Amino acid sequence: MRINLTSVFVDDQEKAQRFYTDVLGFVKKHDVPLGGEDRWLTVVSPEDPDGTELLLEPDKHPAVKPYTTALVEDGIPAAAFAVDDVRAEFDRLSKLGVRFTQEPTEMGPVTTAVLDDTCGNLIQIMHNGG
Amino acid sequence: MADDVFKALADPTRRRILDELTDRNGQTLFEICGRLVTRHGLGLSRQAVSQHLAVLESAGLVSTRREGRYKFHDLDTEPLEHIVGRWLGPKTPRTPKTPEGTP
């Protein structure tokens, strides 16, 4: 058994596609119309195109909004991504206008930061070490 | 008011929270929990940390700031200034001239 897909709920798939590709730097893997406006939309890391896919899932279910609102209020990320250097990513993304709710911080064995994906979620980025 | 401040400061976890807010003001609950567990080995539940923050807030030592969809916690040292000013105020205490000096 292995983890090949995980998902975040997004309030707008078009906007999410732009943020996760143009800003974060992932690449689109699958884009399948599901009827209506909804798509089966996944992205992968260009460093690992056959790796775990991230599904950008529509947030239309009524349970989603209260869930994501409560998580964001407390600063809790919906997903975490590995980067080479959290501070370098913080600088790069800040220049692109990305809002961070937690600036780079050493947390024991890892360095982490938390950013807003503009589609309803907070995302943690991390690397091992200080 | 001062009783609340002393009560809030009497707990070592709450003092750690103030330490971490001194390191960086304006933290989410998630960041405070992360700092407590990774830097101090204090693996408390979010609910427990929330309760500690509520005690600090009612003592006026922490204030909560809503910014859009986020909630940040800021350190407020004003209650400490009142406490310190009580004994370390602008008036220099006079050393009593006689042992019977008024306390």
Which tens digit of pLDDT belongs to each residue from A10-41?
A: 999 999 999 999 999 999 999 999 988 999 99
Select the residue of A73, A102, A112 nearest B71 (Cβ to Cβ).
Answer: A73
What residue of B is the nearest CA neighbor of A76?
Answer: B30
* Interchain CB distance below 8 Å, B34 and A107: yes
Instruction: Compute the nearest-CA separation of B79 from chain A (Å).
Output: 26
**B31–A75 CB contact, under 8 Å:** yes
Per-residue model confidence as pLDDT tens digits over A42-94: 999 999 999 999 999 999 999 999 999 999 999 999 999 999 999 999 999 99
Strand extents, DSSP E, chain A: 5-10, 27-33, 39-44, 53-58, 79-82, 100-107, 110-116, 122-128
Please report how many Cα atoms fall inside a 13 Å half-sphere around the Cα of residue A100, on the Cβ side: 22
Residue A130 touches partner B, C-beta closer than 8 Å? no
At residue B101, the pLDDT reads: 47
ipTM, interface predicted TM-score of the complex: 0.93
Q: Which CATH architecture has domain A5-128?
A: Roll (3.10)
Q: Does any domain span residue B94? A: no
Is B102 inside any structural domain?
no
Interface of A with B in 33-62 (CB under 8 A): none
E-assigned strand segments in B1-103: 62-67, 70-75
What is the pLDDT, as a whole number, of residue A22? 98
**Is A82's Cβ below 8 Å from some Cβ in B?**
no
- Residue A119 corresponds to which tokens in the numbers above? 């589609």
Q: Which residues of B touch A117 (CB under 8 A)?
A: none
Of all residues in chain A, the percent with pLDDT exceeding 90 is 96
Question: Could you state, in order of their start, the residue ranges of all structural domains in chain A?
Answer: 5-128
Structure tokens at B49: 């940390």
| Domain at B26, CATH number | 1.10.10.10
Whether B23 shows a pLDDT value over 50: the answer reads yes
- Distance in Å, alpha carbon of B46 to nearest chain A alpha carbon: 9
Least confident range from A97-111, B17-31, B86-100: namely B86-100
Per the structure, how many domains does chain B have?
A: 1
Q: Strand B62-67 relative to strand A5-10: parallel, antiparallel, unpaired?
A: unpaired
Contacts of B25 (CB under 8 A, 6+ apart): B74, B75
- Given a cut of 70, whether residue B102 has pLDDT beyond it is no
Whether B28 sits inside 8 A of A77 (CB atoms) is no
pLDDT at residue B98, as a whole number: 59
Q: What is the pLDDT of residue A39?
A: 97
Mean model confidence pLDDT for chain B:
90
- Residue B19: which domain range? 2-86
Residue B76 lies in a domain: yes
pLDDT at position B92 is 62
Residue B78 has pLDDT above 90, yes or no: yes
- Whether pLDDT at B99 is above 60: no
